[in-house]
A = this chain, B = another copy of it.
Amino acid sequence: MAFPANSIGLVQPQQFTFAQEEPFRLESGATLSPVTLAYETYGKLNADRSNAILIVHALSGSGHAAGYHAGDDKPGWWDDCIGPGKAFDSNRFFIICSNVLGSCYGSSGPATVDPDSSEPYGLRFPVVTIGDMVRAQAQLVAHLGIEQLLCVAGGSMGGMQVLEWAAHHPTKLKAAIPLATTARHSPMLIALSEVGRQAIYADPNWNNGAYYTATQKPDAGLAVARMVGHITYLSEESMHQKFGRRLQTRERYGFDFQSEFAVESYLKYNGNNFTRRFDANSYLYVTKAMDYFDLSEETGSLAAAFAHSGHLKFLVVSFTSDWLYPSYHSKELVGALTAVNADISYLDIQSSWGHDAFLLEVDTMTKLIASFLERLAREEEVALPVISNQ
Contacts and interface: CB of A to CB of B under 8 A. Distances in A.
A255 B202 contact: no
Contacts of A234: 188
A204 B28 CA distance: 36
Contacts of A253: 28, 292
A19 interface: no
Most buried by B among A126, A195, A267: A195
Contact of A195 (B30, B228, B294): B228
A187 B28 contact: no
A23 B233 CA distance: 45
Nearest to A194: B264
B231 A261 contact: no
25 contacts: A29-B255, A127-B255, A185-B245, A186-B239, A186-B240, A186-B245, A187-B239, A187-B243, A187-B244, A187-B262, A188-B234, A190-B245, A190-B264, A191-B239, A191-B264, A191-B267, A195-B228, A197-B257, A198-B223, A198-B267, A199-B202, A202-B203, A202-B221, A202-B224, A245-B294
Contacts of A284: 257
A195 B201 CA distance: 16
A217 to B, nearest CB: 13
A244 B296 CA distance: 13
Contact of A30 (B192, B243, B245, B255): B255
Given A194-B261, A194-B268, A202-B224, 7 more contacts: A28-B253, A187-B239, A190-B245, A197-B257, A199-B224, A201-B257, A323-B323
